Amino acid sequence: MNDLKKAMNGDDESDDDLETLDPRVKQQLETLNQLTERINLLEKRFEESNAMFRCVLNESSDKLKIIARHLGKCVKEARPFYETKRKTKELQLKCQRAAINYEKACQLYEQSKETINLTEERFAAHKQRAEFKKNDFEPNERRDFDNTWQEMLNQATAKLTSAEIMKRESELKHERCMHLFRESEERLNLLEKQLKTSIKKSRPYFEEQNKFHLRLSAIKAEIETLSKEITESKNAYSMTLKNLEKISEEIHEKRNRSFLKSLKREPGVGAEMNDCNISETNDCSVPELNVSSSRCQMQLIPKSKVVFESPSFNSSLTCSSDDDSLCFNNLSSTLESSKISDEGAFEEINLD
């Protein structure tokens, strides 16, 4: 038993060595530590950026209120002009992006058109060459050749169709943006003529507002970038934890296999077992009870008395060594007269 415990302890120590010496565990733990530090740093910067955004927002609102109170109602009168101006700039940027997309779609359409033209020309040339050399090609080869070129033509046609649809959609989008931009520009010119005096007086307010708007936009962009980096780092952290769980399961399986091998291990060189120990272990089985009535004998100790008392009888039986046959007969009659309980067992007989 002690040897088995030592073997088990030795196997556990070897498994612990495997676990501690496994380079994957060390690498994953280092990655976890790095990701933890990075997440903490990013979250700290994220909180600082949020605090900065709130601070700038409060500062801008307070300062703009003071300027608006100082300038009077000209700020309210000139506000539609500056809002239209901001909207016109946004529409101008959209028109520029739509124009770039339209140019890309046109280039893709022209390339697809050239590709399908070249494919058709090469297909026609190869077909003419095959007509001149009919005897050199087997029917199966000609069929495969035609199928290959037909597939190439189909792919080129599909690309041309897709490029044509993209070109049409980008063209419509560009036209829509240009229409909105022209309308906004016309309205801006009209407001500029109508609100010339108010625009001039309220210019300090809206210039300051534009500065705060740019500053808040920069902080907001930084917050969005930090939020994205935090999400990516947390995803990497969860993946590293899953990798550690897999490695732990593998080590656990190896430990179980080594434990099972240790149980099946044969005795080593120099280990001896005595024949007497082997016979003792073999004799430690449950003995079979094979008792026949002919082999049952009672030894009576000389000059001793045995008294049998049964709970169902108020009589006692005294046997002495002088009258062995009489004692044996009385014992038999007592056993026969003892009542059997419902469970099939004899009632208790007290021996005094």
Task: Quote the CA–CA distance of 254 and 243 in Å, as a whole number.
Answer: 17
Task: Quote the CA–CA distance of 258 and 267 in Å, as a whole number.
Answer: 16
Q: Which of 75-79, 137-141, 246-250, 254-258 has the highest mean pLDDT?
A: 75-79
Q: Stretch 159-186: mean pLDDT, rounded?
A: 92
Pick 225 or 330 by higher pLDDT. 225
Find, among 50, 45, 49, 48, the residue nearest to 233 by Cα. Answer: 45
Task: Quote the CA–CA distance of 69 and 80 in Å, as a whole number.
Answer: 18
Using DSSP bridges, classify how beta strands 306-309 and 350-351 pair: parallel, antiparallel or unpaired. antiparallel
Q: Could you tell me the pTM of the whole model? A: 0.53
Range list of β-strands (E), 254-344: 306-309, 316-319
Q: In the 3-class helix/strand/coil scheme, how is 260-284 assigned residue by residue?
A: HHHHCCCCCCCCCCCHHHHHHHHCC
* Helix/strand number for the chain, H first, E second: 8, 3
pLDDT digits (tens, 9 = 90+) for 236-291: 999 999 998 888 888 888 888 887 777 765 555 555 544 444 444 444 444 444 44
Q: What's the one-letter identity of residue 65? A: K
Bridge partners of residue 340, in order along the sequence = 346
Contact 233, 42 (CB under 8 A): yes
- Residue 331 CB neighbours (<10 A): 15
Q: Assign 133 a pLDDT band (cuts: 50, 70, 90).
A: low
DSSP state of 287: P
Max CA separation in the chain (angstroms): 151
- Residue 206 CB neighbours (<10 A): 21
What is the percent of the chain where pLDDT is above 90? Answer: 43
Poorest-pLDDT segment among 24-28, 50-54, 216-220: 24-28
Sheet of 350-351, strands arranged across? 316-319, 306-309, 350-351
CA distances from 256 to 12, 252, 263 (A): 10, 6, 11
Task: Quote the CA–CA distance of 144 and 131 in Å, as a whole number.
Answer: 15
Q: Which of 139-143, 144-148, 323-327 has the highest mean pLDDT?
A: 144-148
Q: Stretch 145-157: mean pLDDT, rounded?
A: 77
Q: What integer pLDDT is reported at residue 26 of this predicted model?
A: 85
Q: What integer pLDDT is reported at residue 321 of this predicted model?
A: 44
Q: Stretch 318-332: mean pLDDT, rounded?
A: 48
Collapsing DSSP states into helix, strand and coil, what is residue 340?
strand
Q: Assign 322 a pLDDT band (cuts: 50, 70, 90).
A: very low
- Only one residue has tokens 């507002």, namely 209
CA distances from 44 to 38, 51, 214, 221 (A): 10, 11, 23, 16
- Region for 72 from its dihedrals, namely left if φ exceeds 0, alpha if ψ lies in -120 to 50, beta otherwise: left
For 312, phi then psi, to 5°, come to -85, -10
Contact 198, 129 (CB under 8 A): no
pLDDT digits (tens, 9 = 90+) for 90-127: 999 999 999 999 999 999 999 888 888 888 787 777 76
Q: What integer pLDDT is reported at residue 209 of this predicted model?
A: 92
What is the percent of the chain where pLDDT is above 70? Answer: 63
**Residue 203 C-beta-side C-alpha neighbours within 13 Å:** 7
Domain-by-domain residue ranges, the chain? 12-259, 301-351
Fold observed for domain 12-259: Helix Hairpins (1.10.287)
Average confidence score pLDDT of the chain: 74
DSSP state of 346: B
